[in-house]
Amino acid sequence: MTAILEAQSISMTIGGATLVDAIDLHIKAGEMVAIVGPNGAGKSTLLRMLSGDLRPTRGQIKLKQRDMHAYPPRLLAHHRAMLSQHVNVTFPFTVEEIVHMGAGDAGRATAQRLVDAALGEVDLAHFSHRQLPTLSGGEQQRAHFARVLVQLACGEEQHGPGLLLLDEPTSSLDMRHQIDLVETARRRAQNGTAVIAVLHDLNLAMRFADRIVLLHRGKLAVDGGRAEAITAETIRRIFEVDVTIDYTDQGVPFLLPQTMRPAGPPTA
């Protein structure tokens, strides 16, 4: 598989503090990668650098063999789409109008087809004429995910599979829609899209990704398959929590923190 994204020793220093320190990442087409780590490890900063939003103070990022910052914004949007964690919309746009924003310069018929498909995928077709600010946080997050899916699909029609970046995409979603989102992302990966998500929940990360990138104090601590990346020893060292790791029937690891005192018997 070809490399979609190559980050070569990228660093970000702001006001003397190094938030991200010399990280190398190579992401191939069709890979699903989860970026995890404790608070302040530099996950969101790394993701913003990989999106082209922040320019690394050192190092270089190549998207499809071309310097990321050499792309004009419109062309860059054809090759990578990004879902931010908090998007606050002040004007009463409808869900459909918001999702349409992902279509950019696509023709009217193409745009409408992609918008309808994306609204169906995030289970919001019945809300398409609702004003976005009147929806719940989770519903808004799904609407923005649909917008990003439209952008990704538009780019794919012209330039082939690209890069999908997700910053805490499941933070306000209920369990069913978390699963839907992961499944939707996986379908994109099967078509060749490289998917990178910052995730908080390690269990979800192990469900989501083939490959886990664990950050600690701005440095790359571990980069590998979920079984090698997430061990009780690594979790203790980096998160300072004791965990037991068990496996589902399909061999997917899951973990339970042990440091926390379990709840006592219910008092009657």
Partner 1 sequence: MTALTDAGAKRRSGYALRPPASLTLICLLAALAGAALVALTMGAAGIPMARLPAALGLWADASASPTLARDQLVLWSIRIPRIAAAAMVGALLAASGAIMQGLFRNPLADPALVGVSSGGALAAAAAIVITDSPIGQSLHFMQNQLLPIAAFAGSLVTTIALYSIASRSGRTSIAIFLLAGIAIAAIANAGIGLLVFIADDRQLRDITFWMLGSLSGATWPKLAALAPVLGLALIACVWIARGLDVLVLGEAEAFHSGVDVERLKRISIVLVSAMTGVAVSVCGVVGFVGIVVPHLLRLAIGPAHRLLLPASMLLGAVLLVGADTLARTIVAPAEMPIGVLTAAIGAPFFLGMLLRQRGLVSL
Smallest separation (angstroms) from partner 1 to the CB of 123: 18
Decide: is 126 part of the binding site for partner 1 (CB under 8 A): no
Residue 211 binds to partner 1 (criterion: CB under 8 A): no
Cα–Cα distance for residue pair 199/211, rounded to 1 Å: 12
Grouping H, G, I as helix, E, B as strand and the rest as coil, residue 209 is: coil
Judged by CB under 8 A, the residue of 6, 21, 97, 116 near partner 1 is: 97
Q: Contact between 76 and partner 1 (CB under 8 A)?
A: yes
Distance, in Å, from the CA atom of 204 to the CA atom of 180, rounded to the nearest integer, reads: 12
Task: Estimate to the nearest angstrom the gap between the alpha carbon of 203 and the chain centroid.
Answer: 15
For 44, half-sphere exposure in the C-beta direction (CA atoms, 13 angstrom radius) is 11
Q: Which of these ranges, 20-28, 39-47, 49-57, 228-236, lies near partner 1 under the rule CB under 8 A?
A: 49-57
Give φ, ψ of 224 to 5 degrees.
180, -175
Number of residues that bind partner 1 (CB under 8 A): 37
Q: Is 131 in the site for partner 1 (CB under 8 A)?
A: yes
Q: Kindly tell me which of 42 and 52 has the beta carbon lying closer to partner 1.
A: 52
Single residue of 2, 9, 60, 134 touching partner 1 by CB under 8 A? 134
Residue 266 to residue 268: CA distance in whole angstroms: 6
Nearer to partner 1, 197 or 204 (CB): 197
Q: Tokens 């890979």 appear where?
A: 31
Residue from 239, 213, 201 nearest 32 by CA = 213
The DSSP symbol for 217 reads T
Nearest in space to 137 (alpha carbons), one of 182, 168, 171 = 171
User: Segment near partner 1 (CB under 8 A), from 34-42, 58-66, 72-80, 174-182?
Assistant: 72-80
Helix (H) or strand (E) holding 8: strand 3-14
Nearer to partner 1, 63 or 212 (CB): 63
Shortest Cβ 111–partner 1 spacing (Å): 12
- Binding test (CB under 8 A) with partner 1, winner from 117, 135, 179, 232: 135
Distances (CA, A) of 56 to 30, 37, 45: 25, 20, 10
From 79-87, 175-183, 208-216, 250-258, span contacting partner 1 (CB under 8 A): 79-87
**Between 118 and 243, whose beta carbon lies closer to partner 1?**
118
Query: Binding residues for partner 1, per CB under 8 A?
Result: 48, 51-53, 72-78, 80-82, 84, 87-94, 97-98, 101-102, 104, 129-131, 133-135, 144, 147, 151
